[in-house]
Chains A and B, each alone.
Chain A
Amino acid sequence: MELSGGEIIIQALKDEGVEYLFGYPGGAVLHIYDAVFRQNDVKHILVRHEQGATHMADGYSRATGKPGVVLVTSGPGATNAVTGIATAHLDSIPLVVITGQVTSKYIGTDAFQEVDAIGCTRPCVKHNFMVQSVEDIAPVLRKAFYVATTGRPGPVVVDIPKDFTAPNVKIPYAYPKEVSMRSYNPVAGGHSGQVRKALDLLLAARRPVIYTGGGVLMGEASAELRDLAGTLGYPLTSTLMGLGAYPSSGEHFIGMLGMHGTYEANMAMHQADVVLAVGARFDDRVTGETDQFCPSAKIIHIDIDPASISKTITAHVPIVGDVKKVLTSMNELIASDERRVDAGELKAWWDQVNEWRGVNSLGYDSSDDVIKPQYVIQKLWEVTGGDAYVTSDVGQHQMWAAQYYGFDEPRRWINSGGLGTMGFGLPSALGVKLAHPDADVACITGEASVQMCLQELSTASQYNLPVKVINLNNRYLGMVRQWQEFQYNGRYSNSYVDALPDFVKLAESYGHVGMKIEKPADVEGALREALAAKNRLVFMDFITDETENVYPMIEAGKGHHQMRLHPNYGAAV
């Protein structure tokens, strides 16, 4: 089979089993778009802004575990994609982003729409490739998919000069079956000696905690984690990124940890003597002040990326390996081990944890007059049976979504944790809906965040993607306002969101349904109505309490045991 460069790209995507290509055309990728036109296997989704394309591909990937694929033109196409690439990078999401480049002989001449895409993306990709010839295209794409999806996943950019995609040069096509790279060898199973050491610690613990993260989802190891937690019976907490790997309704779950984690999770971490970290990276939002983090714990850390281990917090027993393999061998070893933690001591530890839980750190004052944002999320959970895919933007609404929508299954909770990218919620929801057309997909957002990628409402109409947008409209950059209230004596510098659009009319102008909900009594009915409209995108503008804050909270410089609690909850502590 003889193909042009443009055709090779599309054929390679078919050979990778790619369903959707999220993109936006332009001069440098016209040859590729011509190849897109002449086939029907890879479906192209035309976005309204390249940032939207990267977030859609990212949402698709988070909801399926498959890589997300993006095609953008050179120059502004590439730079518009950078925010989405960086978002995927910080959360370790596999993307393959193809950027067009100017014709090879003009590279470096400040040619029309030339930007050094390799240089621009270098700090925020797992790897990037500059294609050097037509012959290069297939093997480079093969490597790109391989690097993006193996080891610690991440985005890979492939920059392709226009002349290599031209229709007049055709070469024989064969997609490489094998890929081997001497400089890239992701690790697999963990060292068995280390696993045994970990068990010695775990089985002799008196106040153990299992702390899990996004790596459990990436490594598809929910079942193994549930087994382990079931056998050991230890309290288990999760990062923002790991929610759903272990069910929120599970008997050992003590809530999220970290800055806006529960009191019981953070206190348990603070008092723990053994912490088993599984696919989590000790982010500063999790640890709080590192000097005060887990002062009396021995730390076991399972991670596929050696650089994650002992980066911010020293691990006493490091285990470099894939979480699924390591947990499997851990489960096997425990099964054949007679040692168990003393039941009496474990019960005493649980009694302590339950006492902290009694503080009810997620309590909030309900109201009949003004809609409380937490209440909307609890109602959404009820109405969707806790079974929706939920994406979010960044801010207070994101934290409330994480705290009050109990995720019981992996890959249901989709948000930008590492980069914290406002604008992520809506496009990522569209990517999720493409992946799971029959599922309920809700985007929990704020009136500020949603305006950052609002134009994708148009993409949603074009491809009929009926997601439900839950806009928690507090008329404020709420998260910013909260910090200004706590740390700047209420000087609300530029955090009031003025001149808001009429979201109902706005949604309608794109052909969607708009709803404005102002009374607590209307919340549930509105949600039911919106979810019943299976084939319509419904934009629900909930006018919420502008004074509400996210509690509990670890403020800057504080440790896990020094949480700021809601003034009306936990005051006794």
Chain B
Amino acid sequence: MNREGRHIISVLLENESGALSRVAGLFSMRGYNIESLTVAPTNDPTLSRTTLVTRGDDRTIEQITKQLNKLVDVVRLTDLTEASHVEREMMLIKVRATGVDREEVKRLTDIFRSKIIDVTDSSYIIELTGDSEKLDAFMASVGDDNILEVVRSGVTGIARGDKGLKV
């Protein structure tokens, strides 16, 4: 048995009520680990695209993909981590920006190539996109004491090359 790897599984799902709870329910019912889950409709409004980040050894990941495929609402899926792919996560973070920190935060924002999208006398809201480590690094740089609120989208991803996951 091999070590637990991180996998990003992309799922095309019927855009129907209850479909998402079937996916989420499968993970809790079978005790699979789930790090993040995102979902939104695609250009075809009858389909939504779900991205799941999970961890497990090869046998577990194989079972996860088989069990997902078995769900009647799942149209197609792929394990992005099996091939070359791009992954991104977006974060909105509200940070304290007073005194000397105000300049320091602005500088960090530039270094991380992120954007300040809202400003008050005492705070900034910053938008930051990248892989999950980049977001982690930004939070570490700002420091817990200065973070007022964080919201992260969860990972989304797409395979490189000209093939698409579609019906």
Residues of A within 8 A of B (CB): 118-119, 122-123, 126-128, 130, 147, 181-184, 305-307, 310-311, 314
- On whether the beta carbons of B25 and A182 are closer than 8 Å, the reply is no
- If A118-B18, A123-B25, A123-B29 touch, whether A307 touches B72 (CB-CB below 8 Å) is no
Q: Which of A147, A306, A311 contacts B72 (CB 8 A)?
A: A147
Q: Given that A122-B25, A123-B29, A130-B18 are contacting pairs, would A305 and B70 also be in contact in the complex, using a CB cutoff of 8 Å?
A: yes
Smallest Cβ-Cβ distance to B72: which chain A residue = A127
Closest residue of chain B to A156 (Cβ to Cβ) is: B72
Per-position binary interface string of chain B over residues 131-167, scored 1 when its CB falls under 8 Å from any chain A CB and 0 otherwise: 0000000000000000000000000000000000001
Q: Tell whether B21 is near chain A: CB-to-CB under 8 Å.
A: yes
Q: Does B17 lie at the interface of the complex (its beta carbon under 8 Å from any beta carbon of A)?
A: yes
User: Could you say which interface size class chain B belongs to?
Assistant: 10 to 19
State whether A311 and B63 are in contact (beta carbons under 8 Å apart), knowing that A126-B72, A127-B72, A182-B167 are contacts in the complex: yes
Choose from B14, B21, B66 the contact partner of A307 (Cβ within 8 Å).
B66
Known: A118-B18, A122-B22, A123-B29. A183 touches B73 (CB 8 A): yes
Shortest C-beta distance, A150 to chain B (Å), equals: 11
Check: B59 CB closer than 8 A to any chain A CB: yes
On chain B, the residues within 8 Å of A128 by CB distance are 18
CB-CB < 8 A to A314: which residues of B?
59
Check A307 against B74 for contact (C-beta < 8 Å).
no
CA gap between A311 and B59 in the complex, in Å: 8
Kindly identify, within residues 55 to 77 of chain B, every residue whose CB is under 8 Å from any CB belonging to chain A: 59, 62-63, 66-67, 69-70, 72-75
Please indicate the chain A residues that have their CB under 8 angstroms from the CB of B17 in the complex. Answer: 130
Contacts of A306 in B (CB 8 A): 66, 69-70
What are 8 contact pairs spanning A and B, CB under 8 A? A122-B18, A123-B25, A123-B29, A130-B17, A183-B74, A310-B59, A311-B63, A314-B59
**Cβ distance A309 to chain B, nearest Cβ, rounded Å:** 8
Binding site for A on B (CB under 8 A): 14, 17-18, 21-22, 25, 29, 59, 62-63, 66-67, 69-70, 72-75, 167
List A contacts of B62 (CB < 8 A): 310
Residue contact B75 to A307, C-beta cutoff 8 Å: no
Distance A123 CA – B74 CA, assembled complex (angstroms): 16
B21 / chain A contacts, CB cutoff of 8 Å: 119, 122
C-alpha spacing A305/B17, complex, angstroms: 26
Bound CA span A562–B124, Å:
68
In whole Å, how far is A485's beta carbon from the nearest beta carbon of chain B? 32
Please name all residues of chain A whose beta carbon is closer than 8 Å to the beta carbon of B74 when the two chains form the complex: 183
In the complex, besides A127-B72, A182-B167, A310-B59, 5 extra interface pairs with C-beta distance below 8 angstroms are A184-B72, A305-B70, A306-B66, A306-B69, A307-B63
Bound form: Cα–Cα A182–B17 in Å: 17
Minimum CB distance partner of B25 in chain A: A122
Given contact pairs A119-B21, A122-B22, A311-B63, A183 touches B72 in the complex (Cβ within 8 A): yes
Residue of A nearest to B59 (CB): A310
A122 CA to B25 CA, complexed, in Å: 8
A551 to chain B, nearest CB (A): 34
- Chain B contacts for A311, CB-based, 8 A: 63
Q: Return the chain A residue nearest B70 by Cβ.
A: A307
Looking at the assembled complex, report how far the CB atom of A145 sits from the nearest CB atom of chain B, in whole angstroms: 14
CB-CB under 8 A from A182, the residues of chain B are: 75, 167
Asked whether B18 lies within 8 Å of A307 as measured between CB atoms, the reply is no
- CA–CA, A184 to B13, complex, Å? 12
A88 to chain B, nearest CB (A): 16
Q: How far is the CA of A128 from the CA of B14 in the complex (A)?
A: 14
Set of chain B residues within 8 Å of A118, measured between Cβ atoms: 18
Chain A proximity of B142: nearest CB distance (Å): 40
Q: A122-B25, A123-B29, A130-B18 are in contact. Are A183 and B67 (CB under 8 A)?
A: no
Expressed in whole angstroms, the minimum distance between the Cβ of A280 and any Cβ of chain B is 17
Measured CA separation A182–B72 after assembly (Å): 9
Q: How far is the CA of A42 from the CA of B67 in the complex (A)?
A: 36
Q: Report Cα–Cα, A183/B70, bound state, in Å.
A: 9
Q: Which residue of A lies closest to B66 (CB)?
A: A307
Question: What is the CA–CA distance of A305 and B67 in the complex, to the nearest angstrom?
Answer: 10
